[in-house]
A and B are shown apart, each in its own frame.
Chain A
């Protein structure tokens, strides 16, 4: 137990967190001029569809399979959940293409790129466990077909697609928690390092004295 006047572990954690994530960078009120392009919109579109996905999934989890299969409101939320995951992957793929072609790992953003790529990889089994948790013929077909791929890869003993309880646990808790945690880390890293500039701009930044010039231009343009 620390006495008064000693530096507590909580203060050390707080100072470290503030150093890693300066508050003035977490919610910026201005963005660089180069983000005025549709290609920069797909990250937030992915986030929006993820929010709808989680909200509709919570409602489905509250009511259960009988509700989502046999009532019109249940059908509606089942469809919202399906189409939000379709849009989540659609937007995420376009976001991934955009960031790949602008080499978004530049300027010390390797962790931003890696967390994004891992989110994509974790989201795939998250969706697969959802397809096999539907409790209908579709889920039976998918699970019996996909189990062979799992067995061939050697993880069938730990990840059994025919085990509804296990798949449902993965789908509503473990994998969504991983996706959400990674998304939070990804967004915080984007805030920390800033939105990646287009390639031409980074070439300009490589010139001596270009930082001051570009900062002045950003200020003039209101970015």
Chain B
């Protein structure tokens, strides 16, 4: 650990500044639905990626489509 301590500490400080895990998780409640904020963010990310996968142009896909 000795030689890696400094970059490891810097990386830990940076990530801790963005994601503070030393506290209770934030939960979102809606009727019987009870989800942690982190899980909601992952679900939103999946929906966004799904939409982008359908809408974003695929490299080389347009030329193939035009040739049909």
| Chain A contact residues, CB within 8 Å of chain B | 33, 36-39, 41-42, 71-72, 86, 90, 93-94, 97-98, 217, 220-223
The answer to whether the Cβ of B49 comes within 8 Å of any Cβ in the partner chain is: yes
| Chain B contact residues, CB within 8 Å of chain A | 1, 4, 8, 42, 45-46, 49-50, 52-54, 56, 58, 60-61, 64-65, 67-68
- Whole-angstrom distance from the CB of A156 to the nearest CB of chain B? 24
Contacts of B46 in A (CB 8 A): 90, 93-94, 97
- Whole-angstrom distance from the CB of A40 to the nearest CB of chain B? 8
Tell me whether A38 and B56 are in contact (CB under 8 A): yes
Contacts of A37 in B (CB 8 A): 53-54, 58, 61
CA distance A90 to B67 in the complex (A): 34
- Whole-angstrom distance from the CB of A84 to the nearest CB of chain B? 15
Q: List 5 A-B contacts (CB under 8 A).
A: A33-B68, A38-B53, A42-B53, A90-B46, A221-B67
- Whole-angstrom distance from the CB of B22 to the nearest CB of chain A? 14
CA distance A100 to B21 in the complex (A): 36
CA distance A100 to B49 in the complex (A): 16
**Chain A residue with minimal CB distance to B43?**
A93
**Chain B residue with minimal CB distance to A70?**
B1
Sample of 7 further A-B pairs with CB below 8 A, known A94-B53, A98-B53: A39-B50, A71-B1, A72-B4, A90-B49, A222-B64, A222-B67, A223-B64
Tell me whether B64 and A41 are in contact (CB under 8 A): no
> Given the known A-B contacts A72-B1, A90-B46, A97-B50, are A36 and B61 also in contact in the complex, defined by CB atoms under 8 Å?
yes
